[in-house]
Amino acid sequence: MNLLASGVEAYASELQPLIPDHQNWCEAVVCAPYTSLQTALRAFADSRVSVGAQNMSEHDSGAYTGEVSGAQLKDIGVKYVIIGHSERREYYGETDKSVNKKILAAISNSLRPIVCVGESLDQRETGVTYDLVAMQVKAAFNGVSADLLRHIVIAYEPIWAIGTGKTATPEDAQDVCRAIRDVVRAIYSSAASRKISILYGGSMNDKNAFDLLAQPDIDGGLIGGASLKPVSFAAIVNAANQ
């Protein structure tokens, strides 16, 4: 919940020269607040930066005051949507079941869901990380056929490494991302597990991005605070390009 529409426009103007299209081979997505989505779409219209939303309803229409549907996002040109972010799960009571419904709604509206999974500090210290993340992935993909899997991106968010002073090493992140890929392989196939993109979302920044992105099962990052500064975000994009 950052930046007004005018701030998003200024942000885009500063970011685009830092990641010129002819030097950018990876896919960059900016997920703006609902009120700034159309501003972001206009600002990035002539660039390779895509625009996504931070959340969406599981319903396409109806008496759901205050909600925004996948159909409405698609209508204005949004391509991606974050689903099941740790803050949505913690503060707004989103569950694995509601996450699954939102994923199916997103796909039915030709949106690409960025599905977040991850464990808390207590859960990690209890030793249930792999079981928990596997359960979240299996629940998220319930009813998703193999041919639709290519539209989905998974983001691993170790909640314990966000704002706690604890740090996930590249090896920590790689271990869980590899486990996520193994779950996808078990549900679908080896081919499917190779094609799906797995992002790391635990405080990736311009200082640690290169080492994290060098890991074999980390295909990109879900960037939080570092994305608010165009120079920092551009450095992460450039790390991904390498």
Clarify whether 22 is annotated catalytic: no
DSSP, res 147: G
Q: Which of 78, 85, 86, 27 is nearest to 53 (CA)?
A: 78
Q: Which residue has the tokens 């740790």?
A: 86
Catalytic residue among 58, 59, 85, 125: 85
| Pairwise CA distance, residues 206 & 233, whole Å | 7
DSSP, res 156: E
Clarify whether 151 is annotated catalytic: no
Q: Is the Cβ–Cβ distance between 155 and 116 less than 8 Å? A: yes
Within 8 A by CB and 6+ apart from 10, the residues are: none
| Pairwise CA distance, residues 188 & 168, whole Å | 28
Catalytic residue among 58, 94, 119, 157: 157
Report, in angstroms and rounded to the nearest whole number, the Rg of the chain calculated over CA atoms: 17
Q: Which helix (H) or strand (E) holds 82?
A: strand 80-83
Active-site residue list: 85, 157
